[in-house]
Structures are given as C-alpha cells and as structure tokens.
Amino acid sequence: MLRLDAQALTRSRFALSPFAETLAAIVQLARPAADSWHPEWHARHRVEFHARLRADPYARGLVGLMSASKHLPDHLALPPGGGMETTLESELAEVARVSDEVVREGLRLSLAHSAGGGHVDWCTGRDHGARAAELFRSVWETHLAAEWPARRAVLQRDVTHRAGLLAAHGWPRALHLMNRRSAWVGADAIRFGDRPGNDRAVGADGMLFVPVSARRSSWLCHAPGRPHALVYPARGTGTAGSATGSATGGARALARLIGAGRAVILRHLDTPATTSELAALMAQSVGTVGGHLAVLRDAGLVDRTRVGRRVLYHRTALGDHLADGAAEL
C-alpha cells in the first residue's frame, strides 16, 4: 500500500521511461505467449531474442529471474528522472552506475520472491550494472527502436486521457483501473499489488505514473531520495497491429463507408489524440492524417478540444455509435 501525505497528490505527475518499455518487452519476448505490443511483433523478434540468450549465460540468467520473480531486481526498477522527456541514455547511465554490492543484494531479494526457486550462480565477475545496461541497450536497438515512435504515441495518448480525467475528477478517477491489482483505498492510499507487505509512505514530492505498452505489465520503482514510480499498462495497447492490418466484418463495412484511412482514425479515437500522435501511431504524415480528420469533422464524426497548447480530437456521439456498431457486426 502506498500512503500519500497531504501534498503528495498535488505534486504527483506522469512520466515516460524507454527503459521500462524495454524491460516489459524483454519479459514478453522471454515468454511463449504473445501478450505483447501485438502478436506480429512478438513472432518477428522472439527467435532472435532467444538466440541472444542462448549465447550469453549472464543475459539468460538475468532475464530468467526478471520473468520468474514478483520482485524486480532493484537496479532495474529505478524511477525515471526526466519526466515525459526521459531518454534511454540517461536511464542506462544510471543503471550502469549501480554498485555490484547493491546489484547482488537486489538479485538475492528478487530470487527470494521467484517462483520455483533458482540460483544466481550466473552473476559472476564485476560491473553488473554496466552489463545489465548493455543488455537493455542491445534489446532496444534490435527489437524496439524502430517501434518507439508508435509506442510513444500510444503512451502519450494514455497520459492525455488520464490528465483529462485528473483535471475533471481528481486522482481517484484518473487512476481507476490503472492495472489489474491497483485501486484507490480510502482518501489517501493506493493499493498497487496483492502481495502482503509494509505500507510505503509517499512524501511531499508525490509520485510518478509511468505507462508502458505491455498489457499486463505493472511494477513499482523506487530509489533513495526519489519519488516512487508506478509502472502500469497504457490504455489501447495491443491494438496497433490490428488497427493498421486487414479489417474483417464490421470493420470492412466501416472502411467501405468512410474510407480505410478514416476508419482506422475513427477506431483509434476511442481515446482522444492530437494529429501528430495519430500520425506516429499510424506511420503516416501529419498532413495525411490532418486531411482525414477534417473530413471526419465535417461529417460530424469527430470534434476537437484545446487543452493548453494541444488540440485533441475525439469522437462525437455519432462517431462512437458508428465505430461501436462496426465492432459489433
């Protein structure tokens, strides 16, 4: 349980973490089921990923522990420090600086929470923080870098959605169903898991909420003198491939009615988004997406709202009816 003091909520905020996205991807690729960004990505990258593990006992041991334990090694669960502009380089540098003593203690604690026991005999030598950082860098460059613009667009849309709920209804509504086990408890506490343990105090600096594109990934990040960070699955994840791939049933009918590109945009707008976010998500130019949005707006299917310096597009009631009706056919 996270106990928040009177100032914590006013200072809490959202952040992005390419490192957390990489961690979630590693766990997904380590497992046979494609509970991931989308099944095509999982199938395309899993063979090469496992070939890397077979050739590197250290990577194989660390990934196996990450996948089996309910407590991530501490050096892999550091809160991001750059807000919405956090870079992978800054996070890798921080992991690389963690001392071997801290890494080994975190591994022992993680092993104690691991299903089926195991060992850390693979953790030999020195510079374990740097070795972990190098593994994450390799996974990022091989399996994630090309996907990051689209993934980032999904994560930004989730933050936009929850920021809107926060402004209108407060934190309890913004955090509603953030993950399968989290819940707002009373007036000042967040339950973030179902395992017993001591409550953690969240002070005046508040905490961070960090979305990732993995549908079931959730963990708590902490470090001395830093705000806690709750990593959670973003809304709308796991749909990128289906939205741009071949349509079936009612989706085909909707595409024939308003055009394939505009149908994809209408389905994506189950969560409000900017033109640039939609363009990144669909791998199209801002001009192309803007033209489709203009047609949809003229037809009364979408509207727009200014939030600060951002212009968010959202479906109208007619747009909801059309999109939901197509999904039910």
Residue with tokens 């990923």: 49
How confident is the model over 60-74, as a mean pLDDT?
Answer: 92
Q: What is the dihedral of CA 55, 60, 63, 65, to 10 degrees?
A: 180
**DSSP one-letter code for 246:** -
In the predicted structure, residue 319 carries a pLDDT above the cut 50 = yes
Q: Span 282-307, mean pLDDT?
A: 90
Please give the single-letter amino acid code of residue 168: A
Range in 1-5, 53-57, 62-66, 158-162 with the lowest mean pLDDT: 1-5
| Under 8 Å between Cβ of 147 and 38 | no
Does the pLDDT at position 194 exceed 70? Answer: no
pLDDT for res 1: 74
Q: State both tokens at 234.
A: 């973003």
Q: Where are the domains of the chain?
A: 2-14+165-233, 18-147, 240-328
Fold of 240-328: Arc Repressor Mutant, subunit A (1.10.10)
Per-residue confidence at 179, pLDDT binned at 50, 70, 90? low
Between CA 154 and CA 157 the distance in angstroms is 5
Asked if the model's pLDDT at residue 70 lies above 80, the reply is yes
Asked if the model's pLDDT at residue 92 lies above 80, the reply is: yes
Q: Which residues contact 128 (CB under 8 A, 6 or more apart)?
A: 75, 98, 100, 103, 104
Q: What is the mean pLDDT of residues 279-305?
A: 91
Q: How many CB atoms lie within 10 A of CB 302?
A: 23
Asked if residue 34 has pLDDT above 90, the reply is no
Q: How large is the C-alpha radius of gyration of the chain? A: 21
Locate 318 and state its tokens.
Answer: 């007619």
3-state DSSP assignment of residue 11: helix
**172-208 as b/e, with b when 16 or more CB fall inside 10 Å?**
eebbeebbeebebeeeebbebbeeeeeebebeebbbb
More confident residue, 329 or 146: 146
Question: What is the pLDDT averaged over residues 223-235?
Answer: 88
Q: Compute, in degrees rounded to 10, the torsion defined by CA atoms 90, 93, 94, 95.
A: 120
What are the structure tokens assigned to 205, written together?
């600096």
Kindly report the pTM of this predicted structure: 0.75
Looking at residue 197, what is its pLDDT? Answer: 62
Confidence of residue 36 (pLDDT cuts 50, 70, 90): low
Which pair of structure tokens corresponds to residue 36?
């991931």
Task: Check residue 326 and give its pLDDT.
Answer: 55
pLDDT at 296: 94
Digit-coded pLDDT (tens) for 101-130? 999 999 999 999 887 667 889 999 999 999
In what helix (H) or strand (E) does residue 211 lie, and over which residues does it extend? strand 208-212
Greatest mean pLDDT among 178-187, 198-207, 272-281 lies in 272-281
Is 236:244 a contact under the CB 8 Å cutoff? no
What pLDDT does 141 receive? 98
- Whether 238 has a pLDDT exceeding 50, the answer reads no
Distance, CA of 277 to chain centre: 15
Q: What's the angle, vertex CA 227, arms to CA 226 and CA 228, rounded to 5?
A: 115
pLDDT of residue 89: 98
> Which among 321, 326, 4, 304 has a CA at the least distance from the CA of 170?
4
DSSP tally for the chain: helices H, then strands E: 15, 10
Is the pLDDT assigned to residue 252 strictly greater than 60? yes
Question: Is the pLDDT higher at 120 or at 180?
Answer: 120
> Is residue 289 classed as helix, strand or coil in its secondary structure?
helix
Q: Closest Cα partner for 79 from 201, 179, 223, 215?
A: 223
* Residues 255, 257, 261, 266, CA torsion sign: negative
**Least confident window among 58-62, 84-88, 107-111, 257-261:** 257-261
Q: Is the pLDDT of residue 240 over 50?
A: no
